[in-house]
Amino acid sequence: MNQEKTTVLEHRVFQGDYRLLRVAAPIIGPQVKPGQFVHLRVPRLEQAVLRRPFSVFKADEEGLSILYATVGMGTEVLNSVESGEVIDLMGPLGTGFPTLGKDKTLPVLVAGGYGNAALYLQAKNLPIKGGAFFGGRTAQDILCVGEFEALGWDVRVTTDDGSLGTKGLVTAALDPWLAEQDLDAVELFSCGPNPMLKAVGDRALEKGFTAWLSMDRNMACGVGACLTCVIKRKTEAGWEWARCCKDGPVFNAEEILWED
């Protein structure tokens, strides 16, 4: 965990509404593990007291990149950042994805929209490449299919409007596929909107396979101090708060107590 002044190397439209931001981060970059995030101070946004958390897309010895969509004031201002500008980063933060369990032979990725950016390093590192299920609203929201295929993943795409792949939610493709697998061998890694994560988590509990979910919550400090980003984690006595920024963002689906 470090704080580093990073220099923007590349910032461009990646696809549709999504942008790629790559920075030189020789201290943080080499430390990033799959599923971890960085906490970024948006330049020229002095009236904002909080940083903005982003999952790391790619990372290496020189630096790291993030994929983001413009969702609010922070990302709007981030759009204007240019190559050569300096961005203050904290990271890598959080507890990411575990390595493949010893008894598991079929890793599965499930992502909603640009959630698959948070799965890329995991996809790269996993010793076995299995199925990858990417869902989105439209074809515009399906990113990086070629990159995951190049790593050896069998990518299946769904879109809400049928503009790419199978029409429907990601579970429309996942369910029939899972029905034909040995579920004891399945270990699933997922990132995306909360309803999708819950749907994946429900299936894991119901069918008995292992699933790791990267949970997204509004965050303030990013280091476990402020207790903003808490979710309910099951305990023997009931539940306790767990911090997405420190104990997560990745949790085993069986730990999570979902709220309506």
**Binding residues for another protein, per CB under 8 A?**
1-3, 41, 47-51, 88, 90, 217-218, 220-228, 230-231, 241, 246
- Distance (Å, whole) CA 129 – CA 31: 23
Q: Nearest 5°: CA angle at 141, between 139 and 147?
A: 90
Smallest gap from Cβ 217 to another protein, in A, equals 7
Q: How far is the CB of 48 from another protein (least distance, A)?
A: 6
Q: Which two tokens stand for residue 119?
A: 């799965």
Nearer to another protein, 42 or 126 (CB): 42
Nearest approach, Cβ of 198 to another protein (angstroms)?
Answer: 16
Closer to another protein at the Cβ: 5 or 167? 5
Which of 102, 114, 70, 89 lies closest to 214, judged by CA? 114
Give whichever of 24 and 45 is closer to another protein, judged by the CB atom: 45
Q: Which of 111, 113, 163 is nearest to 138 (CA)?
A: 163
Helical pair 194-207 and 170-178, crossing angle rounded to 10 deg: 10
Residue nearer to another protein on the CB measure, 2 or 99: 2
β-bridge pairing 131-136 and 154-159: parallel
Smallest gap from Cβ 90 to another protein, in A, equals: 7
Nearer to another protein, 14 or 68 (CB): 68
Shortest separation between residue 214's beta carbon and another protein, angstroms: 17
The CA-based angle 159-75-45, given to 5 degrees, is 175
